[in-house]
Chains A and B, each alone.
Chain A
Amino acid sequence: MTSSLYSSQSADSTKGDACMSLQNVTISYGKFEAVKNVFMDIPRGRVTAFIGPSGCGKSTVLRGLNRMNDLIPGCKLKGRVVFDGHDLYDPKVDPVEVRRRIGMVFQKPNPFPKTIYENIAFGARINGFKGDMDELVERSLRKAAVWDECKDKLRESGFALSGGQQQRLCIARAIATEPEVILMDEPCSALDPISTLKIEETMHELKRSYTIIIVTHNMQQAVRVADQTAFFNAEAVEGGTGKVGYLVEFNDTERIFNAPGQQATQDYVSGRFG
């Protein structure tokens, strides 16, 4: 088997080969700071998991990576998010272009109110796809491991699928545009265990081609799918109204779960957390 450009890099990836680099990132909603002073280098061609208690800002950071937070009024990011040699928050950067290169799968399956075929073709078309659309649709659905369920009803509405199938359709939709990075925001939180397992298998397939960053509530899931894990925590600030999230530790998944460097990480991963 020939391996793709990305997977060949991922095979012997080193920490030096960062796909995305967060440099002193602070994200706030209005006056309220959601997450503070995050530094991290996310390696290329691997699966990186963000874990941590609710309200620690892990989803906020994830959405910050493809400027999805732009859609939330009052949301501001300070610091730099470097991707492909550019700061994504440079005023000269086009957020639409960013999202074409950094795709996203959301917490709730959100197929478009179109046919299954159009759900895939839509993204590819607006990204200027010049190849054979039928082939691309089939390939994307296969990669997302949902082809067998969909192949006989490509002309039916995306809502005709079950929740787990819808979510894999959304993954297929994301990979059809051939992004370099796929962000997944708790992609399995609304799904049953069997669908979850299928999506995790899909992720194992996908990391040959893509850099994947996943937010998860489920620590077992992080262990199963992630090469690297970042643990976020939240702490109350003096005089503040809410909690502020921060990055506690970022390392190989094995280290995080077996020999964490911080007491807070140890407490969280062993379930001894507040």
Chain B
Amino acid sequence: MLTDSSPAGSGPVNPNRNLAADAFTLRRRPPSEKLIDLGFRQLTLVLASFVAIVLLGIFLTVFQGAREAISSFGLSFLTTSSWDPVNEEYGAFIAIYGTLVTSILSLAIAIPLGVGTAIFITEDLIPSSLREAIGLMVELLAAIPSVVLGLWAIFVMEPAIRPALNLLHSLLGWTPFFNTVPQGPGMAPAILILVVMVLPIITAISRDALNQVPIELRQGAYGVGTTRWGAIFSVILPAAVSAITGGVMLALGRAMGETMAVTMIVGNALNFDLSLLAPGNTIAAMLANQFGEADGIQVSALMYAALILMLLTFAVNVVAQWLVRRLSLRY
């Protein structure tokens, strides 16, 4: 047996020793097969490099486009709020502020809703068929296109919530955050539609994180006599918290870059207003509205805004990946 194992390509097989070898015409690999093997490897390598090329291309294209605006406006672009194509003065403060406020406030609402829903459908509180149905519905919500949600927000949601917003205005109108009369599109409806969009992400990731908590840990908690919610709050959630935080960061990135539904309902304001009931703007909405018709330095200013959006989402996503990866090492 040992003598049979002559390495491929090291010489002809002795026919006296192994007659059956004659029946195999490909005992030695033909050069063409090796060529295919190598070629395939190189092909997949090139295809994989596409990711790097595209990513680099996106960054360079946006940066190159933004250079003119960067040199004209510098960092004051971030803090000024004039958007004046006639005098060619541009500042993205309103859009940056709107991006941060809408995404952060929408998360503040979506986190308890999403995590609560995830607990409800993982912790054996209801029959499993009902749990699966809720899980399926939340997943399908993620599949509804943003533009359809925007359409729904314009024609159904915003008119429906306006009485509630009016009530908010009459109760809290003395604060600068609610001192305008709600008149259709605005920051508040944009925040609510963002809640609808990030809720499935937070729910799905929290659900996975909770499902990954080992059954032994749950048993341990129940074994010392905790109630169900005692176990959830003091053992299960702490064990899942870093994965959930990772999911929340991913959702934050998504909320900041979300375009269509927000563009349709945020009001695309050009003037700054602290009130959440007034129209606002976001970077993504500004791009969607103006990019097609812009020219000259306005394109560059929009590219500059796009660059800021990219860097924001990049930072948030890197933190999210790091958190998710850190958890997978733990258990």
Query: Do A and B share a complex?
Result: yes
Q: What 0/1 readout, one digit per residue, does chain A (157-179) give for beta carbons within 8 Å of chain B?
A: 00000000000001001100100
Q: How far is it, in angstroms, between the C-alpha of A108 and the C-alpha of B219 when the chains are bound?
A: 11
**Given A71-B124, A112-B235, A126-B230, A177 and B225 touching (CB < 8 A)?**
yes
B220 at the interface (CB under 8 A from A): yes
Nearest neighbor of B227 in chain A, beta-carbon distance: A96
Q: Is B328 an interface residue (CB 8 A)?
A: no
Is the CB of B7 closer than 8 A to any CB of chain A?
no
Complex CA–CA separation, A114 to B38 (angstroms): 51
Spot the interface stretch: B91-99, B137-145, B162-170, B210-218: B210-218
B224 & A106 in contact (Cβ 8 Å cutoff): no
Interface residues of A (CB under 8 A from B): 66, 68, 71, 73, 96-97, 99-100, 103-106, 108, 110-114, 122-123, 126-127, 170, 173-174, 177
Say whether B219 contacts A123, CB under 8 Å.
no
User: Does the CB pair B128–A173 fall under 8 Å?
Assistant: no
Quote the shortest CB–CB distance from A244 to chain B (angstroms): 25
Complex CA–CA separation, A227 to B278 (angstroms): 78
Could you tell me if A96 and B220 are in contact, using CB atoms closer than 8 angstroms? no
27 chain-A/chain-B pairs, Cβ below 8 angstroms: A68-B219, A68-B223, A71-B124, A71-B218, A71-B222, A73-B124, A100-B225, A103-B223, A103-B225, A104-B219, A106-B216, A106-B220, A108-B216, A110-B217, A110-B219, A112-B217, A112-B221, A112-B235, A112-B238, A113-B217, A114-B238, A122-B234, A123-B224, A123-B225, A126-B224, A126-B226, A170-B220
Once the chains bind, are B214 and A110 in contact (CB under 8 Å)?
A: yes
Which secondary structure dominates chain B's binding surface?
helix
B120 CB to closest chain A CB (Å) equals 16
A113-B230 Cα distance, complex, nearest whole Å: 15
> For residues 236 through 291 of chain B, which have their beta carbon under 8 Å from a beta carbon of chain A?
238-239
Candidates B124, B224, B226, B238; contact of A174 at CB < 8 Å:
B224
| B residues lining the A interface (CB < 8 Å) | 124, 128, 214, 216-227, 230, 234-235, 238-239
Nearest A-chain residue to B240, judged by Cβ: A113
Q: Least Cβ distance of B231 to chain A in Å?
A: 10
B220 touches A113 (CB 8 A): no
Across-interface contacts of A174 in B (CB, < 8 A): 223-224
Residues of chain B within 8 A of A111, CB atoms compared: 220
Among A106, A114, A127, the residue within 8 A (CB) of B219 is: A106
Kindly list chain A residues whose C-beta atoms are within 8 Å of the C-beta of B222: 68, 71, 96, 99
Cβ B227 vs Cβ A73 within 8 A: no
A99 to B216, CA, bound (A): 15
- Once bound together, how far apart are the Cα atoms of A176 and B219, in whole Å? 17
| Chain A to chain B: the 4 pairs with minimum beta-carbon distance, closest first | A100-B225, A123-B224, A110-B216, A104-B223
Which residues of chain A come closer than 8 Å to B217, judged between CB atoms? 110, 112-113
Taken together as a complex, chains A and B put the C-alpha atoms of A105 and B219 apart, in Å, by: 9
**Residues of A with C-beta under 8 A to B226:** 96, 126
Q: Which residue of B lies closest to A127 (CB)?
A: B225
B219 nearest in chain A by CB position = A106
